[in-house]
Each structure stands twice: as C-alpha cells, then as structure tokens.
Amino acid sequence: MPKYRVLVSDPISEQGLQALLDSPDVEVDIKTDLSPQELIAIIGDYDALLVRSQTKVTAEILQAAKKLRAIGRAGVGVDNIDVPASTRHGVVVINAPDGNTISTCEHTFAMMMAMARKIPQAHMKLKNGTWDRKSFVGVELKNKTIGILGFGRIGSEVAVRAKAFGMSVLAYDPFLTRERAESMGVRMSTVDEIVEGSDFITVHTPLTKDTKHLLSHDQFARMRDGVRILNCARGGIIDEKALVEALANGKVAAAALDVFEEEPPIGNPLVEMDNVVVTPHLGASTEEAQINVAIDVAKELLNILQGLPFRNA
C-alpha cells in the first residue's frame, strides 16, 4: 500500500519521473490542465506536488493543501510558486537548477544567430514564395562584444560559446570574482560598462526586485547605436515599453526574446515588430533538459518524503 501520494500537475517527462513511479511507497497521479478551483478541490489528498511553470501555486492553493510536505519545480525559476506562503505552511519548495542549463544556453545562442542573420524573417518570406536576398543582410558575431548580465550557470555557458565564435565577453554578476573572470577569459565589468560597450547584450539573472527593468529607458539611451538585445531568462528584466521605443527609433537594431512580462504575450507589440525574433518560452524545451529536470526533482521529492537528506531547497 503506497504511503505517499504525489500529484504531477504540469506536463513533465514520465521517463524522468521513474524514481517516483518505481517506488512502492509512492502513488503518482498525473493530472494536467487543472483550473485553480479543480486543484484546490484535490490538493488536500497529496503529500507532494510536482509542477513545471503552468501551475500557479498560490496562497489559496496552499491553504487547501493540508497534507502537503513538498513542492518540486522541474526547472530553475520558482516564480510560479508562492514561496513565503509555502514556508508559512511548512511546505518545502525544491527546484532542479542544473538540468536545463545547456538547453537554455544553446537556445540563447540559436536566438542570437537567428537575430544576427535574420533567419526567421528570410524563412517566412521564402515560404511565402519570395526569393529576396537584399533584405536580409546580417552581421557577424566575430570581433563583436557581448555583455552578459548574470554570470551564473547559463550566463557562463553562453560566455564559453561566445568566445568560441571570436567574441569579446564582458560579464557582470554581484558574485563574480576577478579570478573566475580571468580563468574564463571574460572581462569583469559593471552594468554601465556593459550597457555602453556591448554590441550584443544578454540577460541571465532571475527576476527580482533588483533585476526588474535592469535595462530600461536610461540604459537604452546609453547603448551603442545598433545594439542587439537578448532575453532568454525572465520577462520583466528588460522594460518592454522602453525596448519597443528603442527598437522603433533605431537605437536597438534587433531583439530576440524567449520570455515576456505577460505570458502568453497577447497584444504585445514586440511580437509584431519585424526586427524582433520571438519564441514561446522554449529555453528548456529539449528532450534532454526535460528528462534531466524531471530526474533531479523526482529523486529529491522521494528523499523528502522518505525523510532522507535532500538538495536544492
């Protein structure tokens, strides 16, 4: 007879969930696309909840979660979970911070190449029957400077690939040391140095009160003319209104965005702009990343339920 019930409320790789599915102690229910009311109605039966980013774990849901001991987030950001309310209810929140680093880094690079060479725009035109070679002159990455704001797991992997493309790398992170910057061959910089001295700027921080609108009107005004901007981290790190203005007046040549202040970005002018490349929050959407994060979070949830030591809380 299973001792613990785990609810999986977002699409998560079943292959990755094997640790939970194989445990005789655990019964796993996979129920996705639940409304908040439907989740409130059943959450009281579960010892653990496993989510990706669609399920919003609000204080109201936690109030109804009388047996809940742990919430696992199959990914990095826990911004869809009310962590202070979880703590008040004695519910541990864990994430899977390592499993999607490479996928998100590679997506950032794919977006940078797509933006630099206008690949989505040229693709659409040719698919629509027009052979147009004049409109899609791009820029090389070699000998350009990329500024990386947030030099954690993903930011530092982006730096490795940028260097392989012959780019100079400026990096800012409050925890970056000179020794680490030197060992990685990047220049430790201030936010201002990155804003003023980069041809490409990419953000890889969490969204916090300190990083909200890290790039806004003032920063865009001080950037190099024709700068290119990337956000594959979180909507809101870049002020979208300021970005629209800077794209419209030509200060920013192009932007590549995987994330938005509101998702999905219904009515968002950035999606309509010709010089903006967009994807629907796909950074972690690879077979490998989804298996990795599910394996990590499933193992840790099992540890918590069985009273064993666990990581990533």
Instruction: Identify whether the C-beta of residue 63 lies closer than 8 Å to the C-beta of residue 86.
Output: no
Pick the binder of ligand NAD from 175, 178, 209, 266 (CB under 6 A). 175
By beta-carbon distance, which residue lies closest to ligand MLT?
Answer: 75
Compute CA distances 137 → 102, 108, 134, 307, whole Å: 29, 21, 7, 59
User: What does 52 bind: ligand NAD, ligand MLT, none (CB cut-off 5 to 8 Å by kind)?
Assistant: ligand MLT
245 is catalytic: no
Segment lying near ligand NAD (by CB under 6 A), choices 11-19, 40-48, 61-69, 143-151: 143-151
Question: Is residue 206 close enough to count as binding ligand MLT by CB under 6 A?
Answer: no
User: What does 61 bind: ligand MLT, ligand NAD, none (CB cut-off 5 to 8 Å by kind)?
Assistant: none
CA distance 231 to 260: 9
CA distance 189 to 187: 6
- Edge-to-edge strands, sheet with 4-8: 26-30, 4-8, 48-51, 70-73, 92-95
Binding mask 85-114 for ligand MLT (x = CB under 6 A): ---------------x--------------
User: At residue 184, what are phi and psi to the nearest 5 degrees?
Assistant: -95, -5
263 is catalytic: yes
Segment lying near ligand MLT (by CB under 6 A), choices 71-79, 121-129, 207-215, 223-231: 71-79
For residue 75 the two structure tokens come to 């990914």
User: What does 175 bind: ligand NAD, ligand MLT, none (CB cut-off 5 to 8 Å by kind)?
Assistant: ligand NAD
Pick the binder of ligand NAD from 68, 154, 167, 169 (CB under 6 A). 154
Min CB(129)–ligand MLT separation in Å? 35
**Contacting ligand MLT within 273-312 (CB under 6 A):** 281, 283-284
Q: Find out whether the peptide bond into 97 is cis, omega within 30 degrees of 0.
A: no
Min CB(26)–ligand MLT separation in Å? 23
Which one, 204 or 281, has the nearer CB to ligand MLT?
A: 281
Give me Rg for the CA atoms of the chain. 21
281 is catalytic: yes
Cite the active site residues: 234, 263, 281
